[in-house]
Amino acid sequence: PRLVTVAACQLGPVHLADSRQDVLKRMLSLLEQAAQQGAKLAVFPELAFTTFFPRYLLEETDLDQYFDVEDPSKGGIEQSPNVKPLFDRASALGIDVYVGYAERSIQKDGTHIDYNSSVYYSANANKIVGKYRKVHLPGTVEPRTEPGAVQQLEKRYFRPGDLGFPAFRAPGLVEGALKRSSGQYTATQSAGKGDPIIGMLICNDRRWAEAWRVYGLQGMEILCCGYNTTAFPTTASGHQLDHLTPEAAEEMVMLHHKLSCQGNSYMNACFSINVAKTGAEDGNPLVGGTIIVHPLGHIIKEAQTKEDELVLATIDLADCHRPKSTVFAFEKHRRPEHYHPILDR
Ligand code: CDT
């Protein structure tokens, strides 16, 4: 067995008036509890540190407060005073962290490009070992004008990710891997064979089979995905469900969330840790449904609330091996010669 305890750190609502310090405190508390209960990986939601601001039409100056600046000449998100305490504590507790944030990437010419990003911080390596920029941005560039429209302005505030879907190994995340390698990891030691292969997605990405497959082809064993999903069908979601009660509509949103996570975990023979920011943010409801999914597609553990909540499971990465070597042995059974039409349209 290759056992590892993982923690989905669900966050309840973050309101406009909540300070970054307050949210960070809540996240540190979840991290602490996760570590106390033996977790070696803590997964936080998309845009974890702030409210889901793409629901508002904001002036450029008002936008600044939601972003973390990454300036190659000064360092990345790990240097941000708003984030550093989370990674410092993670190192001290020996627990890895996936977290979503709004990235302001400073270019050589001084201009900036904004992304909806996530990083994977390794406690064993004492550094960020994985970075992802959300590829599938939902919503519109211009605000919708129809009465009662719910805004989803991610296409306005972010550029689609330019990093593709880069899987990576998490050094020392599974103890067996540590033993198999040449002793203890040091701060600078990089990952090796036996370390789990991780993929990262962000919210809407989880609905796209291609994204999972590109990771699946790299041997991904754990997919981490944070999300902020509106609890009722919006114009952006493409549903025509006005005839449903709010409860039935939310059930439908939940169904599509679970279908995406469970179906794609099964088809790529991987675990997935899917983590909500949930509850009503200043009256704007987000679904819950934080789930840890098994490679056979079933839900191992699910959140019970729409508040800050820890969802913990001990998973055995060896469970990926059987489906990866039988029904989903890609090298034996895939027929890529027939797949080329999906490349260019
Ligand atoms: N944050 C985010 O990506 N939300 C989208 C809503 C789009 S409508 C389906 C999501 O896919 O949950």
The Å distance, Cα 229 to ligand 1 centre, comes to 5
Burial class, 148, CB count within 10 angstroms (exposed 0-12 / middle 13-18 / buried 19+): exposed
Ligand 1 atom 12 nearest Cα: 229
pTM over 0.90: yes
Which pLDDT score, from 0 to 100, does residue 279 have? 98
Q: Is 47 in the pocket of ligand 1 (CB under 6 A)?
A: no
Residue 72 tokens, joined = 């190659």
Q: Is 260 in the pocket of ligand 1 (CB under 6 A)?
A: no
The Å distance, Cα 333 to ligand 1 centre, comes to 32
The Å distance, Cα 136 to ligand 1 centre, comes to 9
Element (H, E) at 209: helix 209-216
The Å distance, Cα 184 to ligand 1 centre, comes to 41
Ligand 1 pocket test, candidate residues 56, 237, 278, most atoms within 8 A of CB: 237
Which pLDDT score, from 0 to 100, does residue 329 have? 98
Ligand 1 atom 10 nearest Cα: 204
The minimum-distance atom of ligand 1 relative to the CA of 230 is 6
Residues marked active site are found at: 46, 134, 203
| Identity of the residue numbered 3 | L
Which pLDDT score, from 0 to 100, does residue 324 have? 98
Compute CA 234 distance to the chain's CA centroid, rounded to the nearest angstrom: 22
229: nearest Cα among 323, 291, 152, 157: 152
- From CA 150, how far away is CA 143, in angstroms rounded? 9
Ligand 1 atom 9 nearest Cα: 237
CATH of the domain spanning 10-330, picked from 3.40.50.1000, 3.30.70.270, 3.60.110.10, 3.40.50.460: 3.60.110.10
Q: Is 170 in the pocket of ligand 1 (CB under 6 A)?
A: no
The minimum-distance atom of ligand 1 relative to the CA of 46 is 1
Q: Is 214 in the pocket of ligand 1 (CB under 6 A)?
A: no
Q: Is 207 in the pocket of ligand 1 (CB under 6 A)?
A: yes
Query: Which residues fall within 8 angstroms of residue 301, CB to CB, at 6 or more apart?
Result: 8, 291, 292, 311, 312, 313
- From CA 234, how far away is CA 251, in angstroms rounded? 14
Q: Is 264 in the pocket of ligand 1 (CB under 6 A)?
A: no
The Å distance, Cα 138 to ligand 1 centre, comes to 6
**ipTM summary value:** 0.97
Other C-beta atoms lying within 10 Å of the C-beta of residue 124: 22
The Å distance, Cα 300 to ligand 1 centre, comes to 23
DSSP classification of residue 144: P
Please list the rounded mean pLDDT of every run of 10 residues in the chain (345 residues).
Answer: 98 98 98 98 98 96 95 88 96 98 96 98 97 98 90 97 98 70 46 90 98 98 98 66 83 97 98 98 97 98 98 98 98 96 86
Q: Is 225 in the pocket of ligand 1 (CB under 6 A)?
A: no
Residue 239 tokens, joined = 């549903």
